[in-house]
Amino acid sequence: MSTVAVIDYGMGNLRSVAQAVMAAAHGTDIKVVITADPQVVDAAERVVLPGQGAMRDCMRELHDSGLMPSVLHAAAHKPLFGVCVGMQMLLDHSAEGDEGGTASLGIIPGEVVKFDLAGQHQADGSRFKVPQMGWNQVTQTQAHPLWQGIPDNSYFYFVHSFYARPLDAHHTAGVSDYGQSFTSVLARGNIFATQFHPEKSADLGLSLYRNFLSWSP
């Protein structure tokens, strides 16, 4: 039996993420655990890094929990799925926080910036609101095993005010449009991460998690 560790560092919608991964694992020999124990994370074959809330709080809690070395090890050696702020944390730096922003994990080169949509209007004449909250399309920009069975330009559920801006376009696996084009999916080696919430994205979100569970990067 293999294990998927959903990392509990005190931030994020852990229960809904874990329940979605458990639903995706139904009928398999995969065990899904929510854990704050670095040893359990180190022993797991796959890791899910959720995140919700302010970047500075997430980084502080991850550091204080003692889980950061396990996250860095997982990112280097095993399949890792980042969700929402869990995706943003993978980059070098976020503009979110006090003056100077917040240093993040530095696993994928790039930064996290805030939407600047002042004065812009949507097709129906309404103003763009920040945060983006609701369903939006994701255009697949590269072939990837996690896209298997998921049609291009499918809709997923987003809640965010900041977005990832990777330095290398090859690390973008999906883009979306909200007043501007932005990276909504990152992929590099054994890492796949989404700005949207698969656990809130109905069947296609579950399909992503199923693909992750069988992925052998």
What is the secondary structure of 90-147 as a DSSP string? TSSEES-SSTT-EE---SSSEEEEE---TT-B-TTSPBP-SSEEEEEEEEE-S--GGG
Q: Which of 93-97, 134-138, 159-163, 166-170 has the lowest mean pLDDT?
A: 93-97
Q: Which of 61, 96, 111, 197 is catalytic?
A: 197
58, 84, 96, 160: the catalytic one is 84
Residue pLDDT, tens place only, 29-55: 999 999 999 999 999 999 999 988 889
The CATH class, in words, for 2-214 is: alpha beta
Measured distance CA(36)–CA(116) in Å, rounded? 36
User: Is-catalytic flag, 99?
Assistant: no
Domain map (residue ranges) of the chain:
2-214
Helices 202-214, 14-25: inter-axial angle, 10-degree rounding: 70
197 is catalytic: yes
* Predicted confidence (pLDDT) per residue in 102-148, tens digit: 999 999 999 999 999 888 888 888 888 899 999 999 999 999 999 99
Helix (H) or strand (E) run with residue 206 in it:
helix 202-214
Is position 199 annotated as part of the catalytic site?
yes
Query: What 3-state DSSP class applies to 5?
Result: strand
Q: Which of 61, 96, 111, 199 is catalytic?
A: 199
Peptide bond between residue 198 and the one before it cis (omega within 30 degrees of 0): no
